[in-house]
Chains A and B, each alone.
Chain A
Amino acid sequence: MSAPVDNNLRPRTPLGMVMWIGIAVLGAGAVGGIALARGETINSLWFIVAAVCVYAIGYRFYSAFLAARVLVLDPTRATPAERHDDGRDFVPTNKWIVFGHHFAAIAGPGPLIGPTLAAQFGYLPGTLWILVGAVLGGCVQDFAILFFSTRRDARSLGQMARDELGPVGGVAALLGVMTIMIILIAVLGLVVVNAMKHSPWATSTVAATIPIAILVGLYMRTLRPGRVLEGSLIGVALLLFAVWGGGWVDHQPGLRGWFDHEAPDLALLVIGYGFAAAVLPVWLLLAPRDYLSTFMKLGTVISLAVAIVILRPDIRMPALTQFIDGSGPIFGGKLFPFVFITIACGAISGFHSLIASGTTPKLLSNERDMRMIGYGGMMMESFVAIMAMVAATVLDPGVYFAINSPAGIVGAEPAAAVATISGWGFPVGAAQMQELARTMGEATLFARTGGAPSLAVGMASIFSSAFGAGLLAVWYHFAIMFEALFILTTLDAGTRVARFMLQDMLGNLVPALGRTSWTPGVLLTSAAVVAAWGYFLYMGTIDPLGGINSLWPLFGISNQMLAAIALCVATAILMKCGRARYAPVTALPLAWLVTITSAAAWEKLFSPELRVGFLAHASDLSAKLAGSMIDPEKIAQTRQLVFNDHLNAALTLTFLVITWVLVLDTLRVSWRAFTGHVHPPLSESPHIPTRLVEDWVRD
């Protein structure tokens, strides 16, 4: 009964044909230009042109094919928003508004940090993976999951896995979501801590965001209930003031000591904050912080795009660096598979499937809007990743490596660090770094790992050239505040979600713990969640190799594992509903993800390279402990590092096992469906014709 829609797979007019051939030629020229350029520099405009052409072609043709042939969108069918319209959860909403909500929900700090770290391989591998991964993988995943969830009354990914694959799939998905949450929060916390380390300006500005959020929360709760725009505007103005105020604090000898801390102390502060945020009512901190961070995020991303287009800065990083051999200072590991793990968000991010099967399908008023929201939303996020890549690679490579390399690799003293980095062929001077730190209003920029400071330096130089020079330090701290703001939002929101999930699980054993209104239960489960990510965060700050080296790959593997789970569900559904011939659309990205996650997990477990293999690192440290080669005062810490390596290895193994269990289960169900054996039936809701179409003014 389903009516074919949008059957415009080919351009309809000769003019259209010519235009699309033109876009294809331009895009191919730009991608080829970036890939083959071997000069000193290349203009960033090429990146923008390449990205826009690739996205345009992907959207125009591939997403049309997905919509018409693979998923078969049906605009005559009522969506869950129409059928269950309750004015709150389920509300048929204009497609641009849904697009805005969906994009604000999926775009977090991930696409900014991943490309910044992956730039150690040169600009080329990351850029190609962002473009190809998004168009053929990430966008397809988001689109397909949004579609399947909408056809199933907006059910979540975990529920769909249980319904379509069976109980094993359901449990694996639940475990996957829980662990990814813990690792994600830990690594994001580490990024913020590294940005605030010994920086009174950054620390005081980030600290100021807490009372500002509370003020806005009180305003929207009691003074002017629900006036979101007013409250947010006041908050944004206060945040900008806080950026300036941080500079003032930095110049007050009496005050700056309050905000000048070592990384482990800052980690403890972030952990304490995380616990407070998780148990405080949402209206006081989380909700207002989220409004502010959404405003900031959209504003900054749009300004960055405008600034890059106006300024068209030159890219100074080479296309490829020698670190593709695995010896990179920022994280250890070869180009394959680690570039694909480091850049998850921006190319394909499993986390999106939780949003695409969560709030978004409850708002869609018509199935045909999904193409723009699902496929187009991810394209936008991918574009954010491209801009982050540009911001990281416009820096002098020497400066980039000086900021991002941990002291354990290049040396703690500036002279040693610049000597090591210049020795790699990326000349940089101690005086140059000192001058850069001074103009950015920081004491030092050496070994500020995590990606945030180098992104902030890149953004500050772009912003100050485009929108007013001389304010480098202010722009730098604005960028830090902006990143910290939405990292802390993710931290609050993630802790809360993980707590709900833990309460849900424990509620099966001890019913009282499952009640969200029982305070001791709330405190206990919140503490458990915060302790879990807090442990990894704290270990990250005392790790001499820089915690990013072990935590970011773990995050990447877990995020790609979640994407693999989502694609397993999508592939199984395609097989079961008799579209086996289109199954490669999700099965091929799935095969690629399984390849890279397995390869990366294997390397992280068994590589003999000390900075790659967790087990090799653990046995190296154990041997040193046994041979009394460790400073007596560092023995306890070293024992802890050994334990941590084993824990990381166990987590990696868990990810590997979950991925393969899911894949084998998908193969089993697909095979049974293909050969006509008994399998879990499709759980699609019945077709009910929409009644919205007539009275809706559509585009």
Chain B
Amino acid sequence: MRGRRLQRLWRALRSLTGDDAYERYLAHWRAHHAGEGAPLDRKAFFRAEEERKWNGIKRCC
């Protein structure tokens, strides 16, 4: 029981920090774009991701 709760907490933490962004991307890719060649690898994904994320207002006063 406690193990499951810890696991959920860990998953929430990873999701909150963006630690699992690549896994989420892979899941999305498999579900929607499985027929279109190969997904980005981890490194290439993060390169594209960081550029995209900072392309707008992301932080406030």
Contact = CB atoms under 8 A, between A and B. Distances in A.
Interface of A: 85-89, 91, 93-94, 96-97, 100-101, 105-110, 184, 188, 220-221, 225-229, 232, 282-283, 286-287, 290-291, 344-345, 349, 351-352, 354-355, 358-359, 489-490, 493-494, 496-497, 500, 555, 559
B52 to A, nearest CB: 6
Given A91-B24, A232-B17, A494 B42 contact: no
Contact of B54 (A100, A225, A493, A555): A493
Given A108-B61, A500-B56, 10 more contacts: A85-B32, A87-B25, A184-B61, A227-B19, A228-B19, A229-B13, A229-B17, A290-B58, A351-B60, A494-B59
Contact of B60 (A106, A225, A287): A106
Contacts of A110: 60-61
Nearest to A354: B57
Contacts of A283: 46-47, 50
B59 A489 contact: yes
Contacts of B60: 105-108, 110, 345, 349, 351-352, 354-355, 490
A194 B46 CA distance: 37
B5 interface: no
A251 to B, nearest CB: 35
Interface string B30-52: 00100000000011011101111
Interface of B: 12-19, 21-22, 24-25, 27-29, 32, 42-43, 45-47, 49-61
Given A87-B28, A226-B22, A226-B45, A349 B61 contact: yes
B11 to A, nearest CB: 10
Of residues B14, B45, B50, B52, which shows the largest number of chain A Cβ atoms within 10 Å of its Cβ?
Answer: B50
A87 B61 contact: no
A351 B61 CA distance: 7
Given A349-B60, A500-B55, A229 B50 contact: no
A101 B16 contact: yes
Given A87-B28, A226-B45, A97 B12 contact: yes
Given A105-B59, A354-B60, A358-B56, A282 B17 contact: no
B17 A359 contact: no
28 contacts: A86-B28, A87-B24, A87-B28, A89-B52, A91-B28, A93-B15, A97-B15, A105-B58, A221-B46, A225-B43, A225-B46, A226-B46, A228-B17, A228-B21, A283-B50, A287-B50, A291-B17, A349-B61, A351-B60, A352-B60, A355-B57, A358-B56, A490-B59, A490-B61, A493-B58, A496-B54, A497-B56, A559-B61
A662 B18 CA distance: 38
Pairs of residues from A and B, 5 with the lowest C-beta to C-beta distance, nearest first: A87-B28, A110-B61, A226-B46, A225-B43, A493-B59
Chain B binding surface SS class: helix
A188 B59 CA distance: 14
A96 B9 CA distance: 12
A88 B52 contact: yes
Of residues A108, A226, A290, A344, which shows the largest number of chain B Cβ atoms within 10 Å of its Cβ?
Answer: A226
A87 B29 contact: yes
A497 B53 CA distance: 12
Nearest to B44: A225
Given A355-B60, A559-B61, A226 B42 contact: yes
Contacts of B16: 97, 100-101
A59 B51 CA distance: 37
Contacts, number: 109
Contacts of B47: 221, 283
Given A91-B24, A282-B50, A496-B54, A345 B61 contact: yes
Nearest to B15: A97
B59 A108 contact: yes
Contacts of A225: 42-43, 46
A282 B54 contact: yes
Contacts of B13: 229
A182 B43 CA distance: 35
Contacts of A227: 19
Nearest to B53: A287
A302 to B, nearest CB: 14
B45 A358 contact: no
A100 B59 CA distance: 13
Given A282-B51, A490-B61, A493-B54, A229 B14 contact: yes
A647 B12 CA distance: 49
A283 B28 CA distance: 24
A339 B51 CA distance: 39
B53 to A, nearest CB: 7
A93 B11 CA distance: 13
A145 B56 CA distance: 17
Of residues B14, B21, B27, B61, which shows the largest number of chain A Cβ atoms within 10 Å of its Cβ?
Answer: B61
Nearest to B29: A87
A290 B19 CA distance: 14
A558 to B, nearest CB: 10
Nearest to B54: A282
A543 to B, nearest CB: 21
A242 B60 CA distance: 26
Given A282-B54, A349-B61, A490-B59, A220 B46 contact: yes
A439 to B, nearest CB: 31
A349 B61 CA distance: 9
A482 to B, nearest CB: 15
Contacts of A497: 56-57
Contacts of A188: 61
A89 B28 CA distance: 12
Contacts of A91: 24, 28
Contacts of A355: 57-58, 60
B12 A96 contact: yes
Of residues B22, B25, B52, B56, which shows the largest number of chain A Cβ atoms within 10 Å of its Cβ?
Answer: B56
Contacts of A559: 61
A64 to B, nearest CB: 26
A261 to B, nearest CB: 26
Of residues B16, B45, B53, which shows the largest number of chain A Cβ atoms within 10 Å of its Cβ?
Answer: B16
A229 B15 contact: no
B25 to A, nearest CB: 5
Contacts of A287: 50, 53-54
Contacts of A232: 17
Nearest to A494: B59
A9 to B, nearest CB: 31
B57 A226 contact: no
A136 B52 CA distance: 35
A344 B61 CA distance: 10
